[in-house]
Structures are given as C-alpha cells and as structure tokens.
Structure 1
Amino acid sequence: MDNKNRDNELREQVRSLLEEDKDLRGYALNADVVEGEVQLQGIVDTLKEKERAAELVRQIPGIKGVANAVSISTDGAITDKNVTMEVNEELAMAPGVDLRHIGASAVGGSGTVVLKGRTDDPAEIEAAREAASKARGVTRVLSQVKIGEEEPSLEDIFHSQVNNDKEE
C-alpha cells in the first residue's frame, strides 16, 4: 500500500476514533495525516480533553507522531480569579489530593495554573495536575510542589537550640 492510501486509511481511523469517543465526539475535531503524522485541530473545553485526543490517536498502529493544534475554549473572558476558583474546586473533589498539601493559582491571564505546596507522595502531585487540567480556562499546568519534609529555617534551628539550652 502506498503512503497516500495508508495516510487516507489512518485519517479515517483517527476521525472515527474521535467521533466515537464519549468525551470528544461533541467537538467535531478534525485530523489530517501526512506520512503517518497526525495534525489534530479543533476546539475543546479543557486541557484534559486536548490531552485525551492526542493520547487516543497515538494508540493507533501506524501513527508516527501527533501535532496537537487543538485549542482550549475560554467562552469569553475568564479571569485568573475564575480559573483559580475552578481549579481549586477540581482539586477539592479529586481523590488523592489534600488541599492542606497542594493548592493552585492562575497566573498571567493566559490560563497557566501553578500548583504549589508540599507533599511526600509524587502520585498526589500527578492527581493534582490531572484535576487542574479538567478546569475550564486552563491551558497549561506547572508544578512547583515540593516533595519531602521541609528544611527547618535558621529561625527554627535557633529556637530549638535556645529551648534545649533552657532544659539543661
């Protein structure tokens, strides 16, 4: 089978897969295939849906790569405050995420969300990233969550030494 016929066959497989997926079928995403490389286009509501489209397409045998040009709709002006609120709602509902460990805030007005906090569990960071990507208006999730125990500050060390001195 020549490349053109193979690309046409892959294109039909990609389009069919996207149209059958319960989470993506309502978006009428478009896909083109050239030499086994897929170009995805369209608009979805969340970063999670954009990532899902690319993940699904990558599973088709014969696909060499995916250029994900799918846009995320903001349905008008969504402020950092709105995005932060929605992300924190998603974090609160996410299994495996403790809001005492991880919080989020949107920065820069472009849908970028920064996760902050500290946890001992790397899986909690991934669960938070997943949850944040479900919120409307999020285009990118950056993690600044630290792993492990917090280093004591110089002030903490000083106070512990002072307290120890008094006990002797």
Structure 2
Amino acid sequence: MRSRVDTAAMTSSCESREPVAGSGAPRCPRSGTKGPAVELLTVKALLGALALRSVRQGLYRFCADPTCAVVYFDEAGQVFETADLRVPVWQKEAPGARMMCYCFGENEAAMAREVAETGRCDAALRVRADIAAGRCACQVRNPRGTCCLGDVVRAAAHIEAQAGAVRQADCG
C-alpha cells in the first residue's frame, strides 16, 4: 500500500510552485504551449557549454509539449531546444526507457523490470525516502526544475496497470 506524500519532508526544490501572477503564463513561441516558470539556476545547470554562453538574465519557462523541440523559452523569444541540454528531457522522449527521476536514476525501463520481477514498483517509495533524507537536487538536475515524485508515482502506477492488464489477458 502506498503512503501519501509527506510534503513537510520535502526540500525547497521539491515544493510545488505557485503560478506567477499576471495575465497568464506566456506561451512557447513554437508550440503555443503555456509554460511554467523555471529558475535561471535550473536553466544554467542543464544547458550545454555552447548554449550556456547565450543565456540571458531573466525569467525562462518550460515547454512540456512532447512534439516541440523547445525546452526553455523567454518572453523575448529566445529558445533552447533538447539538443542544447546536457540531459534528455523525459517529456520530449518516447515512452519506454525515459528517465523519470533525475536525482536518483529512476527510469521507466527499470520500473518495468521491477514490476516483471516482483509484481510491483517501489520507485516512489525509494524517491520519497531520499527526499525525506534531504538528498534531492531537483532544482539543478530535473529540466523542469521541480520535484519529480508525482511523475514517478504516475509512471509506476501506469506500468503496474499495464502489467496487470497483461496478466489478466494471459489468464482470460
């Protein structure tokens, strides 16, 4: 049985962010997707050397549209694409082996193996324990700059559900 997230144990980079006040989040100049704010530290930490040289001071936003190559954009129209980052962005990758937790290496392939071997996935429990121990570095490791725990929980549930559907089909 899964326990609820203990938000009091999360570090500041694992806390949910409030929307930025104003007329609504700006949209990605390519996809039109609204983008949540990302701290400049996150952008700087994850850009490759060449792209880092062109970063400007100011507010960047994250584009989660899987069909769009843009990862970060600013209000002046500057964009950084997946090729500009030092890590793959799971929202932009094909399902199957995506990195779900950049701090602790939880990925879909390992989760699926765990479910196949044990019938369950404890990735979220492991990540929760590491968060509670103050080990996460989401602000500088996750391209979104926020905690991945919700993504890990959803991915694990999806993988477990798929495995359950396969088991039922085998028995039916």
TM-score range, shorter chain: under 0.3
**Bigger strand fraction:** 1
Structure with greater contact order relative to length (CA < 8 Å, sep ≥ 6): 2
In terms of Rg, which structure is larger? Answer: 1
